[in-house]
């Protein structure tokens, strides 16, 4: 199984270039103490012939002295290199090993199982694409199994392999494997583990590690090595949101100013328009510089230096993004925190927060709850102790650029550092839900009154259709500010009126002057405004009218909720797809300029994202089409759907 290539001897440069282009898979082993994590890695390398001969001889010698296998070869010593680890037969620190096959390169982290070293496990998991969770077949799912599984889910690791180890000690019993699989599935149903697999193994004997086990003919799945070589991780990378935290301003001479860093996500190309945060100054990428020369494009995880066409102010800790796709820029957020220090976390105490390339002071203002890793229930607690996990509200001394951790594992993560000792105290993952002291929407709320009942109209829907000569529908015109929503909405209303139809417009601005006058422009307030408007649209549809909604409605999930309120069969989404540059030119009120300067927060397309509709009923290029043509296109859509005749 050891990867060998004739190119090594014939053409080393071609081999190295080929090797460099291989896909990289980062993985870790975790689970409770003595479940066999180090043994698994050692056996994997041994059976795949990936251990050098001199290292193998040393391991055989050490196995006789400090091994735990009665003098025979102990694979665990391959990763347990610390003296204390070999004396106790446990893993204490994270050990990394590297290998490759013809298809992939691998970085494997062997993490400790002891509860005392849970923080080390979280460190190894923070950069992993796949987790191998080992379970001792004799003991089944234990507390540390649950704790590590919860951390794996918390850290956004999508691919999980549950390896039921030491099957040789239970006589390779299929029933034992099935029971453990059922127990784990029952627990994991409350976690977010989208790609979950199970495999029976014996790490010490090598069953199902590299070669299929003849002791378990009842198992028809792949071996561990085959699984690692074939698991699909291509869709895990975020290639949509360009994020470039600036780590260093490179100024070697008067003629060069470059901004160095690692692309956290997305793709950047030469000539792309960019925006520097928090200044919101825009420019274009002049060149993408590396040690080996300039590139036409760079993508996630590449370390590059960007030079810009304009001399704009960009400093270490700033972030370079695209103008139409920006992260949140706020001082407060909620996060799940794993506490990693013997000293308790104290809400209100000032700590140093390091997020992306920025360091800033702040506090954990509130510990909302602690998570019981056994039951996954929320527990009220005044503070967090070592290895405990809780949801916290964080307040920083100045705004930072961030995404939710689920969307971006670089910009959505941070560590908490002691300002005096510089010790790492905790690690946090920013959640995309709002804090409890902020306004929230009410999509899923039940009415406060418990004795309500529904009253039915004496006029049927068929009678209304016959009276108006139309079927009721709600047409949501969505797009960036300046895309023409209100203009087209009222033009469509006038055209329908001329045709003898009954229609009315719900405009987002008008709603804010009345029903939604208490709402601002945060993501939650925009969601609540659309919820209220959807309720009004449903009532108008029930009355037989055609409702035309003109709303930015930047989030796809909120638009889907609105469709459920109105009724998906009579809800049509029309996307006004004008580019942001055209929308800026049409802006007569200076909203985009105020958003660029920071005066208007949470402005879709500038300071908050706008998500294009998925499979809209109609897309209108309003930067190319006249209003009349857009109206006729919508009328044609209504006829096709049988709403009008």
Give 313-343 pLDDT, tens digit per residue.
899 999 999 987 888 888 889 999 999 888 9
What's the pLDDT at 76? 66
State both tokens at 602.
């949470």
Contact between 332 and 396 under an 8 Å Cβ cutoff? The reply is yes
Q: CA-CA distance, 89 to 626, in Å (whole number)?
A: 75
What's the pLDDT at 56? 73
Q: Report the DSSP pairing between strands 95-100 and 104-110.
A: antiparallel
Poorest-confidence range of 55-64, 156-165, 518-527, 577-586?
Answer: 55-64
Query: Per residue in 413-447, pLDDT tens?
Result: 999 999 999 999 999 999 875 444 444 567 766 66
Q: CA-CA distance, 461 to 467, in Å (whole number)?
A: 10
What's the pLDDT at 254? 85
Give 631's pLDDT tier (boundaries 50, 70, 90).
very high
pLDDT average, residue stretch 614-629? 95
Q: Which residues contact 476 (CB under 8 A, 6 or more apart)?
A: 549, 551, 553, 559, 562, 571, 572, 573, 574
243-321 fold: Elongation Factor Tu (Ef-tu); domain 3 (2.40.30)
What's the pLDDT at 73? 62
Give 296's pLDDT tier (boundaries 50, 70, 90).
very high
| CATH class, range 7-230 | alpha beta
Contact between 419 and 363 under an 8 Å Cβ cutoff? The reply is no
Which whole-number Å values give the CA distances from 519 to 265, 370, 465, 555, in the listed order? 33, 31, 35, 17
DSSP 542-556: HTT-EEEEE-----H
Poorest-confidence range of 13-27, 67-81, 374-388?
Answer: 67-81
Alpha helix (H) ranges present in 249-365?
none
Give 88's pLDDT tier (boundaries 50, 70, 90).
very low
pLDDT at 92 over 50: no
Q: Which residues contact 15 (CB under 8 A, 6 or more apart)?
A: 5, 7, 8
Which whole-number Å values give the CA distances from 563 to 505, 616, 644, in the listed order? 17, 12, 20
Strand partners, 245: 319
What's the pLDDT at 85? 42
Q: Cα-Cα-Cα-Cα dihedral of 234, 237, 240, 242, to 10°?
A: -140
pLDDT at 574 over 80: yes
What's the pLDDT at 435? 43
What's the pLDDT at 86? 40
- 599 or 378, which is more confident: 378
Q: Report the DSSP pairing between strands 130-136 and 23-31.
A: parallel
Query: Per residue in 16-46, pLDDT tens?
Result: 666 677 788 888 888 887 778 778 888 887 7
State both tokens at 75.
């694979």
* The two domains 243-321 and 461-640 share their CATH topology (first three levels equal): no
What's the pLDDT at 437? 44
**What is the average pLDDT value for the chain, to the nearest integer?**
85
What's the pLDDT at 525? 83
Give 48's pLDDT tier (boundaries 50, 70, 90).
confident
pLDDT average, residue stretch 519-545? 90
| CATH class, range 329-430 | mainly beta
Helix 118-125 crosses helix 143-154 at what angle (to 10 degrees)?
Answer: 30
Poorest-confidence range of 86-90, 289-293, 569-573?
Answer: 86-90
Q: CA-CA distance, 1 to 4, in Å (whole number)?
A: 9
What's the pLDDT at 84? 43
State both tokens at 532.
């209220």
Q: Where are the domains positioned within the chain?
A: 7-230, 243-321, 329-430, 461-640
Query: Per residue in 189-242, pLDDT tens?
Result: 888 888 999 999 998 888 999 899 999 999 999 999 999 999 988 777 788 889
Please tell me the pTM assigned to this model.
0.61
Q: Is the peptide bond prior to 271 cis by the omega test (within 30 degrees of 0)?
A: no
Distance of CA 390 to the CA centre of its chain: 19
pLDDT average, residue stretch 149-158? 87
- 636 or 448, which is more confident: 636
What's the pLDDT at 451? 61
Torsions phi, psi for 356 (to 5 deg): 55, -120
pLDDT average, residue stretch 504-509? 93
Torsions phi, psi for 238 (to 5 deg): -85, 105
Strand partners, 345: 384
Grouping H, G, I as helix, E, B as strand and the rest as coil, residue 24 is: strand
pLDDT at 280 over 80: yes
% of residues, the chain, pLDDT over 70: 86
The secondary structure of 440-471, three-state, reads: CCCCCCCCCCCCCCCCCCCCCHHHHHHHHCCC
pLDDT at 116 over 80: no
pLDDT at 250 over 50: yes
The end-to-end CA distance of the chain, in Å, is 69
461-640 fold: Rossmann fold (3.40.50)
Candidates 352, 350, 331; CA nearest to 396 is 331
pLDDT at 490 over 70: yes
């Amino acid at each position: 199984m050891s990867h060998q290539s004739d190119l090594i001897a014939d053409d080393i440069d071609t081999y190295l270039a080929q090797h460099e282009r291989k896909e990289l898979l980062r993985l870790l082993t975790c689970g409770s103490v003595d479940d066999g994590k180090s043994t698994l890695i050692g056996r994997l390398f041994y059976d795949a012939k990936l251990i050098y001969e001199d290292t193998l001889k040393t391991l055989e010698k050490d196995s006789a002295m400090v091994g735990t296998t009665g003098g025979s070869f102990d694979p665990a010593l391959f990763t347990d290199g610390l003296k204390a680890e070999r004396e106790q037969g446990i893993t204490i620190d994270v050990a990394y090993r590297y290998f490759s096959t013809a298809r992939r390169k691998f970085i494997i982290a062997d993490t400790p199982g002891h509860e005392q070293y849970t923080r080390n496990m979280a460190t190894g998991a923070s950069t992993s694409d796949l987790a191998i969770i080992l379970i001792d077949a004799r003991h089944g799912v234990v507390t540390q199994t649950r704790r590590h599984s919860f951390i794996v889910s918390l850290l956004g690791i999508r691919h999980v392999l549950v390896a039921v180890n030491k099957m040789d000690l239970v006589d390779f019993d299929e029933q034992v494997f099935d029971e453990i699989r059922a127990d784990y599935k029952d627990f994991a149903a409350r976690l977010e583990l989208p790609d979950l697999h199970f495999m029976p193994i014996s790490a010490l004997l090598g069953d199902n590690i590299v070669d299929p086990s003849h002791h378990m003919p009842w198992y028809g799945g792949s071996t561990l090595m085959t699984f690692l070589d074939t698991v699909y991780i291509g869709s895990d990378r975020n290639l949509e949101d360009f994020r470039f935290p600036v780590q260093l301003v490179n100024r070697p001479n008067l003629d060069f100013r470059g901004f160095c860093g690692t692309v956290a996500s997305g793709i950047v190309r030469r000539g792309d328009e960019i925006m520097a945060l928090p200044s919101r100054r825009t420019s274009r990428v002049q060149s993408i510089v590396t040690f080996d020369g300039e590139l036409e494009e760079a993508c996630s995880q590449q370390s590059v230096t960007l030079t810009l066409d304009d001399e704009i102010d960009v400093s270490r800790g700033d972030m370079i993004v695209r103008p139409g796709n920006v992260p949140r820029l706020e001082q407060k957020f909620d996060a799940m925190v794993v506490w990693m220090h013997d000293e308790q976390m104290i809400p209100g105490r000032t700590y140093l927060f390091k997020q992306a390339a920025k360091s800033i002071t702040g506090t954990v203002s509130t510990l909302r709850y602690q998570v019981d890793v056994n039951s996954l229930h929320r527990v009220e607690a005044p503070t967090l102790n070592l290895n405990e996990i809780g949801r916290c509200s964080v307040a920083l001394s100045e705004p930072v650029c961030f995404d939710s951790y689920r969307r971006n594992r670089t910009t959505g993560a941070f560590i908490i550092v002691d300002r005096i000792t510089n010790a790492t105290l905790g690690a946090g993952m920013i959640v995309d839900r709002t804090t409890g002291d902020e306004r929230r929407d009410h999509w899923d709320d039940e009415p406060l009154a418990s004795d309500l009942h529904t009253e039915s109209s004496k006029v049927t829907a068929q009678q209304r259709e016959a009276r108006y000569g139309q079927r009721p529908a709600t047409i949501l015109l969505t797009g960036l500010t300046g895309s023409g929503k209100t203009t087209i909405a009222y033009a469509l209303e006038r055209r329908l009126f001329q045709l003898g139809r009954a229609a009315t417009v719900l405009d987002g601005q008008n709603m804010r002057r009345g029903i939604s006058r208490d709402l601002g422009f945060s993501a939650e307030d925009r969601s609540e405004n659309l919820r209220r408007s959807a309720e009004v649209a449903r009532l108008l549809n029930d009355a037989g009218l055609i409702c035309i909604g003109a709303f930015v409605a930047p989030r796809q999930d909120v638009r889907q909720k609105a469709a459920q309120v109105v009724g998906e069969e009579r809800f049509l989404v029309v996307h006004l797809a004008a580019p942001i540059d055209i929308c800026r030119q049409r802006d007569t009120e200076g909203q985009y300029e105020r958003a660029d300067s920071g005066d208007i927060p949470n402005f879709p397309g500038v300071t908050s994202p706008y998500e294009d509709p998925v499979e809209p009923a109609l897309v209108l290029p309003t930067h190319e089409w006249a209003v009349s043509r857009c109206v006729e296109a919508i009328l044609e859509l209504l006829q096709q759907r049988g709403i009008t005749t």
